[in-house]
Chain A
């Protein structure tokens, strides 16, 4: 069992209506309800995974416009994702926001009705290291060090079980 920790900020209500979301991993709904500052969700992960966070209760009247300007809006922002204790940091920007009319890459803002989508792999650490190296080409020993890490963890588990 793995855990997904989601942090949100700037959660804006309109007329006593608070934003609500549904969190899905690999098409399985894991949470449905109010958007809070932090959610910790247990999940069974596969080698390839898709996280989707749906903005489920946004309606047209939730955007209040006066003189052509938005003065009030039901919205929120995704701030951070931690998968199995690993803060994915900049890889959060690999996500995209899909709404009715648009696919916005690297968007953490939940404005229109739609969903945030992130593809990631398990094991998480391996995916983080690999993806960062693919993006920046600055960590050639990532795999070697990852293997030391895994081997040492396995050895420690074995020793502790003795």
Chain B
């Protein structure tokens, strides 16, 4: 009944948007599959209220202002705790992605390791560039000469799926640099991260899953103090993208880093219960059992040529469409419950 209810909600929302039978049928399968930010009225209003481009592009203090403000903004999150960020230096990043690329360059001679279910970008890039990578199921498979990419919360579930302390201690011991992808951190709750480990090389955040500004590619990278690379060079000479910094600054001035979680956490719990899903610490997501296979990311994996591995992935379901159509989604659920 639960998946039935989820389908009914999806059909009703898509038809209410003005789609016809065929359009709705086509979109239903992707309804819960993607992972994109919520475009609600309050946040879209702020997109419309962004400062004019000329005020951003000619503002020489835009980048340092954004970089300075970001650490406090992310640390003041009332649902999550991140310790030790003050020991790292910030650079604005084009989404989290630029930080990934910088990490690949820095550790070009190493084999990138990741847990099954990690962000598909890493896999696709490594495959396309014919660069070494491998999946692991346990941290003790990591050895010298590896570099670890790890999303926290984890990309495949939105949860803190691993014992970070054990992983970092092992990586410290084996001299394995770690990239911590915290893109989901501001859309999650009950996440504790301690950055006080030698192995943590890069920590990156993104506003792309939090605010409806994904195409502005606003992110922040943290590296150990004193580290220099191309990304840091441009930060040092104030030659970064001031438009994305201005957009990011506007949003972090308007909304707390826990704004989305606070606003939608009750709805998240309601949908998880109504659909009989396993909750995720990331409020955009929930985890479905095998009956949900066709509504998870199977098609996306297929598009990336990763269909052979799809059984290794969770059926991660995304609630963004539900939050954007909250009243009708709740109304449908109330009718059937």
Contacts and interface: CB of A to CB of B under 8 A. Distances in A.
Nearest to A141: B25
B138 interface: no
Contact of B21 (A149, A151, A156, A159): A149
A152 B331 contact: no
A156 B15 contact: yes
Interface residues of A, number: 12
A56 interface: no
B332 interface: yes
Interface in B14-28: 15-16, 20-21, 24-25, 28
Most B-side CB within 10 Å, residue of A85, A149, A152, A159: A152
A65 interface: no
Given A125-B21, A145-B25, A152 B11 contact: yes
B11 A148 contact: yes
B335 interface: yes
B328 A153 contact: no
Interface string A132-146: 000000000000011
A26 to B, nearest CB: 25
Interface string A102-130: 00000000000000000000000100000
Contacts of A155: 8, 12, 332, 335
Contacts of B24: 149, 152
Nearest to B331: A159
A85 B23 CA distance: 14
Interface residues of B, number: 15
A90 to B, nearest CB: 14
Given A156-B15, A156-B16, A159-B331, A151 B8 contact: yes
Given A145-B25, A159-B328, A159-B331, A153 B15 contact: yes
B328 A148 contact: no
A152 B12 contact: yes
B11 A151 contact: yes
Interface in A63-120: 85
A42 B178 CA distance: 69
A145 B8 CA distance: 10
B7 interface: yes
Most B-side CB within 10 Å, residue of A125, A146, A148, A151: A148
A148 B7 contact: yes
A148 B12 CA distance: 9
B12 A156 contact: yes
A129 to B, nearest CB: 8
Nearest to B7: A148
Contacts of B7: 148
A146 B24 CA distance: 11
Nearest to A129: B21
Contacts of A145: 21, 25, 28
Given A125-B21, A148-B7, A152-B15, 9 more contacts: A145-B28, A148-B8, A152-B8, A153-B15, A155-B8, A156-B12, A156-B15, A159-B328, A159-B331
- Across the A-B interface, give the 4 residue pairs with the lowest CB-CB distance, nearest first: A152-B11, A152-B12, A148-B11, A152-B15
22 contacts: A85-B20, A125-B21, A145-B25, A145-B28, A146-B21, A148-B8, A148-B11, A148-B28, A149-B11, A149-B15, A149-B25, A151-B8, A151-B11, A152-B11, A152-B24, A153-B15, A155-B12, A155-B332, A155-B335, A156-B12, A156-B15, A159-B328
Interface of B: 7-8, 11-12, 15-16, 20-21, 24-25, 28, 328, 331-332, 335
